[in-house]
Amino acid sequence: MTKVYGTGTYDFRRHRVAEYPLATPADSKAVGHMAGGGSGAVPSSITLSEIQRDRLTKIAEANWLTSSDAAARVKELDPDLVRKIYETELLVKEGSKPVPLQRVMILEVSQYLENYLWPHFDPLTATFEHVMSIIIMVNEKFRENVAAWTCFHERKDAFKGFLERILRLKEGRELSIAEKTNYLVFMINAFQSLEDEVVSRTILRLASLKSWHSLSYGRFQMELCLNPGLIKKWKRMIKKEPVKGGGSHLDPSTTVEVMFVRNLIEEFLEILDSQVLPQKQFCSGDDEIFDCTSSGLVNDACVLYCERFMEFLIDLLSQLPTRRYLRPLVADVAVVAKCHLSALYRHEKGKLFAQLVDLLQFYEGFEINDHTGTQLTDHEVLETHYSRLQSFQLLAFKKMEKLRELALTNIGSIHKRANLSKKLSVLSPEELRDFVCCKLKLVSKEDPWSERVDFLIEVMVSYFEKQQSQKEAINALPLYPNELIMWDESVVPSINYSGEGCLALPKLNLQFLTLHDYLLRNFNLFRLESTYEIREDIQEAVPHLLAYINNDGETAFRGWSRMGVPVKEFKISEVKQPNIGEVKPASVTAEVTYSISSYRAQIRSEWDALKEHDVLFLLSIRPSFEPLSAEEEEKASVPQKLGLQYVRGCEVIEIRDEEGNLMNDFSGRIKRDEWKPPKGELRTVTVALDTAQYHMDVSNIAEKGAEDVYGTFNVLMRRKPKENNFKAILESIRDLMNEYCIVPKWLENIFLGYGDPSAAQWTNMPDLLETVDFKDTFIDADHLKECFVDDEVSFINSNGTENLNPRAPFRIKLPRTLKPSNGALTGNAVDTFDQKEALIIEAYTPPDPGPYPQDQPKQNSVRFTPTQVEAIISGIQPGLTMVVGPPGTGKTDTAVQILNVLYHNCPSQRTLIITHSNQALNDLFEKIMQRDVPARYLLRLGQGEQELATDLDFSRQGRVNAMLVRRLELLSEVERLARSLQLPEDVGYTCETAGYFWLLHVYSRWEQFLAACAENKEKPTFVQDRFPFKEFFSDTPHPVFTGESFEKDMRAAMGCFCHLKTMFQELEECRAFELLKSTADRANYLMTKQAKIVAMTCTHAALKRKDFLQLGFKYDNLLMEESAQILEIETFIPMLLQRQEDGHARLKRCILIGDHHQLPPVVKNMAFQKYSHMDQSLFTRFVRLGIPYIELNAQGRARPSIAKLYNWRYRELGDLASVKEAVIFNRANAGFAYDYQLVDVPDYLDKGETTPSPWFYQNEGEAEYVVSVYIYMRLLGYPANKISILTTYNGQKLLIRDVINRRCVPYHFIGPPSKVTTVDKFQGQQNDFILLSLVRTRFVGHLRDVRRLIVAMSRARLGLYVFCRRSLFEQCYELQPTFQLLLQRPDHLALNVNEITSYTERDVENPGPKHHVHLVSGIEEMGSIIDRLYQEKLRLEFHKNEPYLNQVEPSENTENSMDKPEQAEDTDMPQQAEDTPHEIKEATTLDNHVAENMPSENSAEDVTMVDNSDGVAKEETGVGAAE
């Protein structure tokens, strides 16, 4: 097997895989340059056979392609071949695209880079074409978001030489515009890969202090004056520079790193000035230039280059390591001012360019100290602005007579752009140039632009004008999208973004400038992603209404829509005065009336379920009077097609029925017993409008005479509640931006991506827990020794003496220098340790918990591996703990034990649990309840609580009720205690009286008893005789005292007292519920004070953040499960659900558990995914930054053979003993020769993959084959709930469901499988048998994302059968390790035809005798095998059950005899329509047989099955053997 790369630190790239918009050379021009550079073309139908016939594929086969069966060596490099391929296939001579995408894709798939270009690369002899070819291949890998640098790591020195060659590539050579663009894209990609050590070492030299040699002298002086600390650094650097023969230093401008960025900028400015609009040279004068820009003659390739260059500069200025020394360079050349004055900035085709320039301007003036990296406060920014203007006025007063008026005027009248420009217009061009270049030194006098007056004024104004504060800008922004932003393609691109162009969007990369920058980028992206989803919903809902213009000329509706309802009346009811210091109103409320008369009961109930804080949308629809012609339809935008004029969001305050009664009130205004069902069909909903949007609309009406938007609304639209949380999350982010000091100090630098990656590891943190009580973590002493193999373990007793027979539980004194165990490779490098650490372990006897069974603590039964123990130790100590949990390695068990140990060691601390899904949260919660954490300290918030599989209710209301019930139980116990002590029973009246009773009567008696015991230790029966509460404990299952020894009885007495103490402690906790009368107060008290472990999903945390802050919610520890599946911002918000204490964050521990090798968070829009990396989780970013993590290394889910298909992706993933030894894992899958197999599926009915609509992939052959194998398994007796069918595309999922409805559902003895779903949806779940369809036959598609492959391969426990096109997938470089293993077995399905039941004694390694193993030739043969098996089963059953079958009446309707329990399962399949079986015309061989002849499995005698509950094969005999 080939060497597997990419299991270490380097390979960490974002792996979102692009789909392939293939424009043929002929139509590439027609596609043109779209906004965002994304081709709108649907993939053209290029088939696999065409690719195989293609000349490039033939060249590849002859020179570098190696297949699994032909291990021919790659030929030596032929430079002429590389040049020929480059010139004929890769070089673009005309058109806007920098590369011919389809040709590049074919080369990249054929492993041109890995097998040919790179192995033969020599930095000294490689040709220009060779280097450019590598650049194009690397760029393509980035476009598809697969690991790009992986193949370079074997030859790091050559890679360094390669990067050096790239830096000098332009020397003495003029590149075409397409080559310049490709070169630039490579530089962008390199600067986005700073986590890769080899890349960053070379690339960061370009952004070092040396680059200041290229600054103009004036700017250089100014920068050193502003940063005096750099003067020493500069002098030291000059000393180190190499010296020429004569003793003088070399001219620094000759070195690459000094001039590289400056040269790139100057090259860009030249293209922007002279090549974008080639005809500009014929124009003279400003007016004519403007005329030129309006004409359409624009060089699209140059526009793309300019957009890409803006992206390059934005990337440089938005990361601190590159920003620090390059920002002065960008300012020195005045890039932003020159772009503002360029013709492209004002041109209609320069819209995206203009947006990018504005983004660059924003980052150039970002509120940060570049050299310390600290964020500037609003006050500091204002102070800097005022001092700058003051110095300017002083200089003007001294040196410029003409500017005397400007020098003496107040600052408020000159810091606006218009005023300052007017005041500067008094200077002549020569005076202005002298002032800006020589006195202010803002630009160099050598700059050719310095002769332009408009340029000089632009530079001055942009330097001195007052910028709007970033906080003000965000606070003035509406949170709901409107129609203008929704359909702006350069901000919210459509789904088919191909990754070829850039967008005016921020990126989430490794590092951020400040927390404000982090929040701002996330705010913008989250807002735009939700805008995209809302846009899709509007486009879905509006057409169903069938709007038209009626005879009165008004909009009316013929149709109906589930999510949109016509508005009967809309009126604004209240506009409140603005708050002090603001211009927008404090609030705007409106009332919307609509009718639900046209809806069925179910949809009515959905509309009636609207409640406070739900978000609705008001739409104004005005269709055109005449339908649009075909030509108009083609040109029209989406809003024009829909007749959509305006979109405004609003939030529900309350909803009333026709009689004005309040509905769905959760505030307590309506008592439960007074609730009545809603009356009538009219509903009036009171909504809060967005005040910022309202202010903008009203200003437009007043100033520009615009239409009154609020008089035109005629449709109210709702969205699915689960998808409609965006407003609360945006509000949470906006609130965070207005706060200060929000992240714990120990986490802040790491969070932003700077400093020492291991700074927040527990060994580097203050306030450690020195001695930890591990409770039930270790089963016994041997288990403990296994976990600390590298340490010198010594056991002692509580008194310090040596313990020769240690027993659990143990307390361990943890030294800071504790080294990781074998499996726990903490961080990205493993240190070698020589001497063993002495570890002192105290084995202690826990106190007796009490005499009743319920007093005994619940014990852990999991034998944790050394790595899991490593994770537990790290998790209970302060700091950041990151645990990577590969599939089946017990992530949840580890998390639960961390919580358990943490609760017992820090009982006063509170822990917050966050997960991505309700399912994961419930799994975690159910396991916590089985540990020794009292149920009264557990709380589960959010909607998914109902799904908890427990008898107890853990919601707020449920916990309050439980506390009240418990209070009554305890008070009755107190009364019983009082009776046993012959005291009045009224002491148990309230918790307060019980507290006094404890102090006066119980505790005092105990103290007297202890004093007496101290004097009578020699009497063995003393405790039995004198124990004061003997009568109370007379009802214990076993006698409390034996009278045999004083010590034994004293321990039992202590246990009894412990029981009493716990009882009164619980009563003290119930006291608050006695004092607080309202349910809401009690629930809030429970959440903020009582509960020690609070669990919720990340969505709930973001939605309710404001409420948590108001209630004073506090927590010390945060544990996050599935953290690699949670968006950055949704991970960040849960860290900040509490107010700061004296300017400090209370959070002490942050435990992130996840797996970055599995699929990332779901982001629906491809552009945000690919361009902005919005699907990067915080967990993944931390791993990329090199923050130490612990990787669990023993899986207990799958057979070891199946685990090999994915364990190459992890460091050292082994198997637990259970999967090696258990019978079920060692026994073969009956009827199959192998436990896993790749099944090659050829074209079916002359078709491979099909795309009925764009991005909707199906493969009928695979669908039929998969379902045939499923039917085969069911006929053998495999239970349906143990089989899941997975696929990589939604289109195929729907097709397979159709086939199952046709071939399986009508027959009760087959029925649907457990689930038919996509790989992405099945993440986090598992089943015994997985049938997987990979669909694609042309290009590999998004399975090239290795993370999707890992999820697909790791879902099966016992059997995995992969249906795909072998010739396509075996060539894919990224998937090699898995597919090479799969292809070691036959690629035709191997069946063991001798086995006709689901039970076999055959060993898993043994396929069976050769004459029993049959290789299935294809789909048709599989059909006949099913047919034969069916007949065979019938014959067997007939002979065995002849007497029984004679009594069975044949059934008329097959669907009536369906297995009811099977239907009731969560099949994820649609219910079959009643009359469907009669309508089935096309059926396979099986379907031609009448189902009634087949007895149900329940009546079969002596049939072997796989047991449902635990998957262990066992033999069932007798009639009625249940499935």
CB atoms within 10 A of CB 1056: 24
Q: How does residue 296 score in pLDDT terms, banded at 50, 70 and 90?
A: low
Please report the sign of the dihedral spanned by the C-alpha atoms of residue 98, residue 103, residue 105, residue 111: negative
- The mean pLDDT value for 892-899 works out to 94
* Interval 492-501: pLDDT, tens: 887 667 778 8
Q: Where are the alpha helices (DSSP H) in 365-465?
A: 378-399, 404-408, 417-424, 429-433, 453-464
Residue with tokens 């003035």: 476
| Distant-in-sequence contacts of 1478-1483, Cβ < 8 A, 24+ apart | 1480/1302, 1480/1306, 1482/1302, 1483/1302, 1483/1303
pLDDT at 74: 56
Q: Is the pLDDT of residue 1476 over 60?
A: no
Q: What is the spatial distance between Cα 1448 and Cα 1210, in angstroms, rounded to a whole number?
A: 56
For residue 146, give the nearest of 202, 119, 108 by alpha carbon: 108
* Collapsed DSSP state (helix, strand, coil) of residue 236: helix
pLDDT at 49: 62
Contact between 1307 and 1274 (Cβ < 8 Å): no
Q: How far is CA 201 from CA 195, 237, 321, in A?
A: 10, 18, 12
* Interval 1143-1196: pLDDT, tens: 788 999 999 999 999 999 988 888 888 889 999 999 999 999 999 999 999 999
CB atoms within 10 A of CB 862: 16
Contact between 878 and 768 (Cβ < 8 Å): yes
Q: What is the spatial distance between Cα 393 and Cα 1007, in angstroms, rounded to a whole number?
A: 83
What string of DSSP letters covers 1246-1301? Answer: TB--EEEETTEEE-HHHHHHHHHHHHHHHHHT--GGGEEEEES-HHHHHHHHHHHH
For the ranges 53-57, 82-86, 1440-1444, 1461-1465, the lowest mean pLDDT is seen at 1461-1465
pLDDT at 539: 92
For residue 46, give the nearest of 1368, 955, 1381 by alpha carbon: 1368
Q: What percent of the chain has pLDDT over 90?
A: 46
Q: What is the spatial distance between Cα 98 and Cα 37, in angstroms, rounded to a whole number?
A: 11
Structure tokens at 676: 């009545």
Angle value at C-alpha 1027, between 1023 and 1028, nearest 5 degrees: 165
Residue 352 one-letter amino acid: L
For residue 768, give the nearest of 746, 790, 797, 792 by alpha carbon: 746
Q: Is the pLDDT of residue 532 over 60?
A: yes
* Interval 11-44: pLDDT, tens: 333 333 334 333 333 333 333 333 333 333 333 3
Half-sphere exposure of 819 (CA within 13 A, CB side): 17
Q: How does residue 1201 score in pLDDT terms, banded at 50, 70 and 90?
A: very high
Higher pLDDT, 745 or 3: 745
Contact between 38 and 96 (Cβ < 8 Å): no
pLDDT at 28: 34
Contact between 1497 and 1520 (Cβ < 8 Å): no
For residue 1187, give the nearest of 941, 961, 881 by alpha carbon: 881
Contact between 1477 and 1455 (Cβ < 8 Å): yes
- The mean pLDDT value for 783-803 works out to 89
Q: What's the chain's average pLDDT? A: 84
* DSSP summary character for residue 74: P
- The mean pLDDT value for 1036-1047 works out to 87
Question: Where are any strands of DSSP class E within 937-995?
Answer: 938-940
- The mean pLDDT value for 395-421 works out to 86
Helix, strand, coil proportions of the chain in percent (round to 5)? 50, 10, 40
Q: What is the spatial distance between Cα 1370 and Cα 1367, in angstroms, rounded to a whole number?
A: 6
Q: What is the spatial distance between Cα 103 and Cα 93, in angstroms, rounded to a whole number?
A: 14
Higher pLDDT, 671 or 430: 430
* DSSP summary character for residue 896: H
Q: Is the pLDDT of residue 727 over 70?
A: yes
- The mean pLDDT value for 563-587 works out to 93
Residue with tokens 């931006």: 737
Rounded to the nearest 5°, which phi and psi values hold at 1065? -65, -45
Contact between 1113 and 948 (Cβ < 8 Å): no
Q: Is the pLDDT of residue 1506 over 50?
A: no
| 484 class by beta-carbon count within 10 Å (0-12 exposed, 13-18 middle, 19+ buried) | exposed
pLDDT at 19: 40
- Dihedral class, residue 1390 (left if φ above 0, else alpha if ψ from -120 to 50, else beta): beta
Structure tokens at 452: 């332009």
| 124 class by beta-carbon count within 10 Å (0-12 exposed, 13-18 middle, 19+ buried) | exposed
For residue 1428, give the nearest of 1391, 1457, 1400, 1377 by alpha carbon: 1391
Q: Where are the alpha helices (DSSP H) in 1004-1126?
A: 1004-1015, 1022-1026, 1046-1075, 1079-1085, 1098-1103, 1105-1111
Q: Is the pLDDT of residue 1488 over 50?
A: no
Please report the sign of the dihedral spanned by the C-alpha atoms of residue 1121, residue 1124, residue 1129, residue 1135: positive
Supply the angle between the helices 351-364 and 320-333 in degrees, to the nearest 10: 110
CB atoms within 10 A of CB 910: 21
Q: Is the pLDDT of residue 1204 over 90?
A: yes
* Interval 1408-1424: pLDDT, tens: 888 889 999 999 999 99
Q: What is the spatial distance between Cα 665 and Cα 663, in angstroms, rounded to a whole number?
A: 6
* DSSP summary character for residue 438: I
Q: Is the pLDDT of residue 1234 over 80?
A: yes
* Interval 119-178: pLDDT, tens: 999 989 999 999 999 999 999 999 888 888 888 888 888 898 999 899 888 888 889 999
For the ranges 556-565, 1213-1222, 1507-1516, the lowest mean pLDDT is seen at 1507-1516
Rounded to the nearest 5°, which phi and psi values hold at 838? -80, 125
* DSSP summary character for residue 437: I
Supply the angle between the helices 866-876 and 891-905 in degrees, to the nearest 10: 40
For residue 386, give the nearest of 332, 502, 308, 464 by alpha carbon: 464
Structure tokens at 1501: 């005698």
* Interval 1108-1119: pLDDT, tens: 999 999 999 999
Q: Is the pLDDT of residue 354 over 90?
A: yes
Q: How does residue 326 score in pLDDT terms, banded at 50, 70 and 90?
A: very high
pLDDT at 673: 61
CB proximity list for 363: less than 8 A, separation 6 or greater: 314, 317, 318, 323
Contact between 626 and 668 (Cβ < 8 Å): no
Q: What is the spatial distance between Cα 1359 and Cα 10, in angstroms, rounded to a whole number?
A: 33
* Interval 854-871: pLDDT, tens: 888 888 889 999 999 999
pLDDT at 808: 86
pLDDT at 1442: 58
Q: How far is CA 1167 from CA 146, 188, 504, 1433, in A?
A: 16, 17, 11, 54
Q: How far is CA 385 from CA 209, 367, 379, 415, 461, in A?
A: 26, 12, 10, 9, 12
pLDDT at 25: 35
CB atoms within 10 A of CB 895: 27
- The mean pLDDT value for 1335-1361 works out to 92
Angle value at C-alpha 668, between 664 and 673, nearest 5 degrees: 75
Rounded to the nearest 5°, which phi and psi values hold at 1342? -75, 5
Supply the angle between the helices 417-424 and 453-464 in degrees, to the nearest 10: 130
Q: How does residue 947 score in pLDDT terms, banded at 50, 70 and 90?
A: low
Cα R_g (the chain), whole angstroms = 37
Residue with tokens 């490709």: 182
- The mean pLDDT value for 329-339 works out to 93
Residue with tokens 């894709």: 105
pLDDT at 671: 62
Q: Write out the H or E segment, with its range, that includes residue 575.
A: strand 564-575
